[in-house]
Amino acid sequence: MTTIWILAKRELKSFFDSLLAYITIIAFLVFTGLFTWIIGRTVFLMSEASMQSFFGVAYWALFFFIPALTMKLIAEEHSSGTLELILTKPISERQLVLGKFLAVFILIALSLMLTLPYYITIASIGPIDHGATTLGYLGLLLMSAAYIGIGIFASSLTSNQIVSFLLALFIGIFFHLLFELIARYFPGAIGNTLSYLSLSTHYESITRGVVDSRDIIYFLAVVFLSLFGAQMAISRRNYTN
């Protein structure tokens, strides 16, 4: 655990030193703030004390922001050769991947925490459903975890950061949107499987207030499989020169 934390700390420091962290947080707050309060289906337009408009925006904002944070994580280690440096220290591939995962997760959790004033403000205007809001945040955190995993996996496949970013979006869009849409054209088992694979289905069922263990397992499985895939991709160095 300590090794993972040391790795995460270094990664976080690099996020903040390169200003990437500040830019992401500010952009996230501006983006979600605009759509929660000023533009489109805002809190005022809906005229009810709920965070639904915020969750709707954050759902899409995170989808784009997370690949921007994860794209360099392993691709850069590949291209600069530091992978050799880090893996010859007493660090396993699993610890390396988990350290990076933890760093981005902390950064996302921090960004979400900074939106708590929205919650406090809305709660002071009218009666807000505290349960639904808590679950909304939980849903966002779980969804973020899944996309961070996918982003790290994409980053481990290439040494080019742009390719890594686009690849993460490409894989992500299936979970975010396409599986659900395609499922409609396939009745029966295939449709059900695709629908189960769709991240939006599970996200919605959590935010609706139904916390089913199947949903939690789904998110954890996506994280586990993508990080495992990243680990495999890192060990491919043994087969290509």
Partner 1 sequence: MDIIVDNISKHFGTQKAVDQVSFQVKTGEILGFLGPNGAGKSTTMRAITCYLTPTSGDIRVGGYSIHENPEEIKQNIGYLPESNPLYQDMPVLDYLRFVAEIHKIPKEKIPGRIREMVRTCGLEAEKHKKIAELSKGYKQRVGLAQALIHDPQVLVLDEPTSGLDPNQIIEIRELIREIGREKTVILSSHILAEVEATCDRILIINDGKIVADGTSSDLRKKAQNKEILKITIEDADKNDIFKALQSLQNTQMVDILSQSGNSFELQSKPGTSSRRDVFRLCVDRDWMLTEMTPTETKLEDIFRELTMN
Q: Counting contacts by CB under 8 A, is residue 81 touching partner 1?
A: yes
SS3 of the chain: the string is: CHHHHHHHHHHHHHHHHCCHHHHHHHHHHHHHHHHHHHCCCCHHHHCCCCCHHHHHHHHHHHHHHHHHHHCCCCHHHHHHCHHHHHHCCCCCHHHHHHHHHHHHHHHHHHHHHCCHHHHHHHHHHCCCCHHHHHHHHHHHHHHHHHHHHHHHHHHHHCCCHHHHHHHHHHHHHHHHHHHHHHHCCCCHHHHHHHHHHCHHHHHHHHHCCCCCHHHHHHHHHHHHHHHHHHHHHHHHHHCCC
Q: Which of 39, 85, 125, 162 binds partner 1 (CB under 8 A)?
A: 85
Q: Which of 91, 123, 138, 178 binds partner 1 (CB under 8 A)?
A: 91
CA distance 65 to 175: 16
Give the shortest CB-64-to-partner 1 separation in angstroms.
24
Considering the complex, state which of residue 29 and residue 86 has its C-beta at the smaller distance from partner 1. 86
Identify which range of 26-34, 87-95, 121-129, 142-150 contacts partner 1 by CB under 8 A.
87-95
Q: Counting contacts by CB under 8 A, is residue 94 touching partner 1?
A: no
C-alpha separations of 204 from 106, 108, 177 in Å: 23, 20, 12
CA distance 43 to 190: 38
Give the shortest CB-49-to-partner 1 separation in angstroms.
44
Cβ contacts of 130 within 8 Å, gap of 6 or more: 123
Q: Counting contacts by CB under 8 A, is residue 39 touching partner 1?
A: no
Considering the complex, state which of residue 213 and residue 240 has its C-beta at the smaller distance from partner 1. 240
Q: Counting contacts by CB under 8 A, is residue 134 touching partner 1?
A: no
Q: Counting contacts by CB under 8 A, is residue 237 touching partner 1?
A: yes
Give the shortest CB-45-to-partner 1 separation in angstroms.
44
Q: Counting contacts by CB under 8 A, is residue 23 touching partner 1?
A: no
Q: Counting contacts by CB under 8 A, is residue 1 touching partner 1?
A: no
**Cα 209 to the chain's mean position, in Å?**
21
Per-residue binding string, partner 1, 176-215, x by CB under 8 A, is ----------------------------------------
Considering the complex, state which of residue 14 and residue 42 has its C-beta at the smaller distance from partner 1. 14
Q: Counting contacts by CB under 8 A, is residue 121 touching partner 1?
A: no
Report 41-80 residues binding partner 1 (CB under 8 A). 80
Q: Counting contacts by CB under 8 A, is residue 17 touching partner 1?
A: yes
* Binding stretches for partner 1 (CB under 8 A): 2-3, 6-7, 10, 13-14, 17-18, 80-85, 87-92, 237-241
